[in-house]
Amino acid sequence: MSSHPNVGRADGYSRRIAGIFAVIAGVVSIEGFFFAMPFITWLVLAFMFCTGLFFLLAGWKGGTAIFGAGVMALAVLDAWLALAHAGNWALLLGLIVGADAWLTAWWGWSPLNSLLHRDTHDADAEWQLRFTH
């Protein structure tokens, strides 16, 4: 792990929200839950897709767009896996994505950001000006 944090505040918030949605969507995509209460599954996946759209299209600086696109793709994938009777894979994928998102947000360092030479920590000054007053 690097000593320099490369995950900013806004990026950390979007990662936490994506992680929560990934786990919840995985749980509601399990075959028993999906076929017992499909409306709740579609409601969770639609809300997840809209939240991803919000992060993608908001135009915020700080790295939220990539997680918005990831949440949208995961919502579509979870819906397909639920319909294909493979909800257990959706749960496994949700647990992996959720753990990665939460641990990355907690540590403040992302290997993907390092690989792409992105530092969303630099956008924190703009966020402090917007939310402290």
Per-residue pLDDT at 55 exceeds 50: yes
Mean pLDDT is highest, among 24-33, 101-110, 113-122, for 24-33
Reported as type and span, the H/E element at residue 12 is helix 9-28
Quote the pTM value.
0.77
Q: What percent of the chain has pLDDT over 90?
A: 40
Among 12-26, 51-65, 68-82, 88-102, the least confident range: 51-65
Radius of gyration of the chain (CA): 16
What number of other Cβ atoms are within 10 A of residue 58's Cβ? 12
Q: Rounded to the nearest 5 degrees, what angle is found at the Cα of 24, between the Cα atoms of 86 and 60? A: 115
What pLDDT is attached to residue 129?
A: 47
